[in-house]
Amino acid sequence: MKFSSIKQRLIVIAMAASLAAIAGDGFAADAGPSGAPIVIAMGKSRLVELPSAYSDVMIADPKIADILPLNNHSVYVVGKAMGSTALTVYGAGRRVLYSSDVLVSADLENFKARLHEVLPRETNVAVSTANQHILLSGTVSSPSALHQIMTLADTYDPGKVVNMMGVQGTQQVMLSVRFVEMERTTAKDLRINVQQDRTNTNPAVTVLTGDTLLNRVQTAASQNSFGIASLAWSVGGGDLTFLFDALESKGLIKTLAEPNLVAMSGDTANFLAGGEYPIPVPGAFGQISVDYKRYGVGLAFTPTVLAGGQINIKIEPEVSEIDTTRSVAVGQNVTVPALTVRRASTTIELRDGQSFMIGGLLQSTSHNDIEQLPWLGEVPVLGALFRSASYQKRETDLAIIVTPRLARPMRPGDPIKTPLDNAVASNDTDLFVNGKVEVPKSQLNPGIPERPFVGHILSLPKGVTNVSMQ
């Protein structure tokens, strides 16, 4: 731009002064031969002092930065959009007085001030710019502080934040989960069946009661019965039979699963000890494809180590098993079993070594049935001969307990115990004479050194005490 009259210069100076009053935080930079880059926050201005009077000022990209002259020795450079451009100032005779790159970035000074207000203890975080991005480096105290810093930085330059920060301390979490389930069942049945066959008298009489319709007493052997007693009389040329069918059952099921899993803070870890069973899926044109459904002991969790040793855990434990009693028939001769599943999904916070019961279930179900012959079953005392009763009760107790721990790896050379450390495999004598498939190390003869190999006896040459397989 070129200003030829004093009136025009006064107008521009007045405009620049007004802009400086609005911006309120312009920075002055003395122009020198070094031509150091001018870094300006978007929407802010910076004062550039020139060594002598200038005649023209040129900016390469007016969309990124603009210039407002104050007098013949100074200009304002205003950041308009993120990016970089070039500033060139000419003197008399088109001589270059000053040139420099102009970098317009996010308001880093304001970001630093806000960061100090929100997280005053995070003093090891460095903020800078790199290729029109906000660059964060240094170390923070916890993953939660890192997440807060990233969220705050994204408000200043959305989608252009480069994270090069690290987290101090131990950031590996081992989660121990315990599934404990007790299931108790009780059932009692008493069925009284009465059968009167047809007689030779007139009129002919036939009486049948109970859910087991008897033609012969031996028919009850094919029913789900445990205790059976029968009485039979010959009455009027026919047979009168009483069958007493009684059953009492009690059951107790204990389920215990303890999966353990280690994950880095902020990452998701998955674990499955079980398998997959095939499920036939009908398709077009009579074709059948096979899909697979997982079952067993599963665990998925995402730990986040917070400040002060607090651990945030998003956890999804599951225990499932195949239940053939609820199978579904699909097509001809194809049966798909059902699954019995115990599953939970929640988010909790607790400290290293603390335990939390994230889920519990107490379920009690009772079922009573009475089957009787109308009117006759209501008769006192004798009505029991025309009535059958059953009682079933089922109680289920379930608890899911989680315990997180900050984990560190073992030192090099430290032994790690395994389930195989307490026993050795049996040899021929242990297996065939003593009937043992393995021998605990506590039962080995201390006077005899530990066997160099285990398994069946081999015929080795003299002087050879061990064998290796290539």
Q: Please compute the mean of the pLDDT values over residues 210-214 and round it to a whole number.
A: 51
User: φ and ψ at 295, to 5 degrees?
Assistant: -150, 160
DSSP-derived 3-state class of residue 269: strand
Q: Which helix (H) or strand (E) holds 165?
A: strand 161-167
What would the two tokens of residue 352 be?
Answer: 């290293």
Return the minimum-mean-pLDDT range out of 219-223, 400-404, 414-418. 219-223
Looking at the DSSP bridge assignments, the partners of residue 319 are 297, 342
Q: What is the mean pLDDT of residues 368-377?
A: 81
Q: What is the pLDDT of residues 72-108, one digit of tens each?
A: 888 888 888 888 888 888 888 888 888 888 888 888 8
Name the residue type at position 57.
V
Q: What is the mean pLDDT of residues 372-394?
A: 81
207 has pLDDT over 70 = no
Q: How far, in Å, CA of 334 to CA of 84, rounded?
A: 70
- pLDDT for 212 equals 54
Per-residue tokens: 305: 């180590």
% pLDDT > 90, the chain: 7
* pTM for this prediction: 0.56
- How far is Cα 222 from Cα 123, in angstroms, rounded to an integer? 82
